[in-house]
Structure 1
């Protein structure tokens, strides 16, 4: 079962977990990436490290990773593995990871685990837009395949706002990286999962995420699992309802028992989305 929430460690994650690891210095990132990969390698997964030339050299020089390289259980690539001459194709990258996952399974490994410092790919608005779409597509792939990933971003280079846009697309993120998360659901019939807290300050983040990804209807209905939505103010709820309605598909929100969302919707001058209470 995939995990979701805010975390402060990369230890103990599963074969389909997808985490955003925000860091403020290179010295903070590399130890976390090595722990993330070493744990998977010890558990029978193939591992892949992607980063800048200096990062690849440092990780490849570690004894445990060098042994993995020699055995074919570990691989390392420069950031060009994602984009050549600034070109980045989200769908092509997901296909590349699907092929790598299938190859790992065919070679007798239990799955694929990837750690990447994607900071150089998201330093422009266009880069963040493409990479955020890729994050959602990759996350959807991971819901049903044994691939796990740690996507890392340098907040000192990107700024807190840009980092929040990317952390928002992950089921797992470091505390304070983002107040709200929108990610793929592993449950049949659910289009996506919405968790966190939404208010006037954080709604622009959710609006951007919704604009970037396709919310595909299941049996004609876009169903958002909002059982992990801790709070949403009435203005943000009105904006969310309008944004979902503009997509032209019937929309449903699944909320937890005890949620105040059904009552709040009943008090507001808004049509839809339908709300279903579910444990």
Structure 2
């Protein structure tokens, strides 16, 4: 069984699987993986399929990753599937492994201490790709990690891949990556957000969930100077839960800030509480 780890625990030598349903959560984990590699001076390659390279750059910049500067100095590169796996003929495991091997040699020749690769695996659902090549790639990829210079996260969208393929992906990777979840049910998910640092809360939040909410807030207060509370996927919040968030912000020293990003209907609840008048709290309305 694969070991479950958080994205900031990934190091060279790791081959991990990221399965996701929430695009924002996936982008948060990818951004943290890239930012960690940049900080370590490693070379980073993002193979992207469902998101165009230019759009991916925008997503990284939005999450406070200096992507354009990193591309300019040659530390970060983005490869669309049409320019990598799907270019120049049928996709084979051999070609995919060869592409990563070439990137490893390139990184070593330029003096980078390691290579990080994140690969959007949606290319494997294309009609031109034989299903057995995905299986062969994941099984044979282990040979690439022998020298301890490579870290790879393979991204699998749960809305695109069938359960059998997802089960194989989890089994084929020594590690699985997921967000740190403080509460996870069909109605409510509270998890760690890496970039910008804080919390992401989605679903419906009411007074029955005060304990996990307060635990999550206490954790981000301990870890982060400026706390970002992302409520863009929150459908409902009651007055008790909104009050708990506002009161938590008031406990911050005046040189620290909680930034709450939320839809207008959620912002209206905080407005009714007078939360925006607190110097430690800022409300940002999302579209």
Tell me the equivalent position of 2:27.
30
Aligned pair in 2 of structure 1 residues 172, 123: CA closer, same or farther (>3 Å)?
Answer: farther
CA distance in 2: counterparts of 1:93 and 1:37, whole angstroms: 21
1:40 aligned onto 2:37: yes
Q: Is the 8 A contact 2:91 2:129 kept in 1?
A: no
Deviation at residue 112 of structure 1 after TM alignment? 1.0
Deviation at residue 92 of structure 1 after TM alignment? 2.1
Deviation at residue 75 of structure 1 after TM alignment? 0.1
Tell me the equivalent position of 1:167.
170
For residue 105 of structure 2, the aligned residue among 96, 102, 106 is 102
What is the TM-score normalised by the length of structure 1?
0.56
Tell me the equivalent position of 1:261.
none
Q: Is the 8 A contact 1:25 1:156 kept in 2?
A: no
Q: Deviations over 1:218-248 (max 9, x none)?
A: xxxxxxxxxxxxxxxxxxxxxxxxxxxxxxx
CA distance in 2: counterparts of 1:28 and 1:165, whole angstroms: 22
CA distance in 2: counterparts of 1:40 and 1:171, whole angstroms: 20
Which segment is superposed worse, 53-62 or 136-145? Answer: 53-62
Aligned pair in 2 of structure 1 residues 126, 82: CA closer, same or farther (>3 Å)?
Answer: closer
Aligned pair in 2 of structure 1 residues 171, 66: CA closer, same or farther (>3 Å)?
Answer: same
1:91 aligned onto 2:94: yes
Q: What SS is found at the alignment partner of 1:54?
A: coil
Q: Deviations over 1:38-60 (max 9, x none)?
A: 10111011001111363422332
1:67 aligned onto 2:66: no
Tell me the equivalent position of 1:275.
none
For residue 78 of structure 1, the aligned residue among 77, 80, 83 is 80
Larger Rg: 2
Tell me the equivalent position of 1:137.
140
Q: Is the 8 A contact 1:14 1:148 kept in 2?
A: yes
CA distance in 2: counterparts of 1:154 and 1:76, whole angstroms: 19
Tell me the equivalent position of 1:247.
none
Structure 2 unaligned regions, length at least 5: 179-287
Q: Deviations over 1:6-55 (max 9, x none)?
A: 32521121111110000013222111111111101110110011113634
Tell me the equivalent position of 1:149.
152
Q: Is the 8 A contact 1:34 1:59 kept in 2?
A: no
Q: What SS is found at the alignment partner of 2:118?
A: strand
What is the TM-score normalised by the length of structure 2?
0.55
CA distance in 1: counterparts of 2:26 and 2:168, whole angstroms: 19
Q: Tell me which stretches of 4 or more aligned residues in structure 1 moved more than 3 Å.
A: 122-128
1:21 aligned onto 2:18: yes
Aligned residues: 172
